[in-house]
Structures are given as C-alpha cells and as structure tokens.
A = this chain, B = another copy of it.
Amino acid sequence: MPASPPSLDSFDLAILAILQRDNTTPQRLIGEAVNLSAPAVQRRIKRMEQTGVIAGNVALVEPAAVGQPITIFVEVELESERTELIDAAKRQFSAAPEVQQCYYVTGEADFILVITVADMGAYEALTRKLFFDSNNVRKFRTFVAMDRVKVGLTVPLPD
C-alpha cells in the first residue's frame, strides 16, 4: 500500500543502493557512507517501507541447497484471452509454490513463468496440474536453465 506519492532524493537512492545489496548493513555504516546520522537513515528507511518503495526484506536461499536444483522457464499461450480466464490463470499460477515468478506479457506468449523444481519428474507433474488439467492452455514452451548466470531482483538506480 503506497501511502503517498514518494519522491526520492539522492540520500534515499544511496540508501537503497546499499540495502538492495545487503540489508543487514548497520544504519551507522549506512550513515557514514551517505553522510547522515543513523536516526536520519532509519527514518528514511521506515518511510520507504511504508510507502512501498521497499517492497520487502528477505534472505535469498540457494535452491540447490534445499533440493530444488532445477530452474525452468515456461512460455504459456492461452486459448482464450477473456479477462476472466486471464485472471483465473493468474490466480492459479500464483498459488503454486514452485512458480517463483509469473508475468503477464505481450508478444507471442501470454504468460512467462519461472519455476523451481527438484527434478524433471516434479516438473512433469506440475505441467500436468497447471497446463493439461486447465482447459485454457493452448500450448507452452519449456526452457531448462543450464546456468543461472545472474540472479537477483536488483533494480538499477538513477545517479
């Protein structure tokens, strides 16, 4: 819930750049880096959390370490693009824990999914559940990741 139209100055952006890399950095160090006192840093962080500029604070888990070594991309094309069916698909994809990311896109596909699974058997079962059991999926194309070259949700920040 963005509480208000946020407008970020260079202090905020500098703070974000740090937190986006490591949000365990003490406010004292952030303050030294951006030339602000720790409380000032703290107030800015809180405000950005409340306004939604900072959407969350999370630990990144290595999939392979928890038995989910396979990352898969899927382009999904629907039969019908009726609003109601689109929304139903969004809800179904979102509900699946294996679906890490889901985007509704323009172009030759309707959805792009990023999926994390333990093995291809699990993926096969998931496709059955998400695609074949749905009557609204015309086709889908699968891309298996051989190398997660760069992974993150880091956003480029203006200077």
Contact = CB atoms under 8 A, between A and B. Distances in A.
A54 B59 contact: yes
Contact of A66 (B56, B144, B145, B158): B158
State the majority secondary structure of interface residues on A.
mixed
B57 A153 contact: no
15 contacts: A13-B66, A23-B23, A55-B61, A57-B60, A62-B155, A68-B156, A73-B112, A98-B156, A99-B150, A100-B154, A101-B151, A105-B144, A105-B145, A106-B146, A107-B141
Contacts of A106: 143-144, 146
Q: Which of A106, A112, A143 neighbours the largest number of chain B CB atoms within 10 Å of its CB?
A: A143
Interface residues of A, number: 68
A27 interface: no
Contacts of A109: 143
A10 interface: no
B116 A155 contact: yes
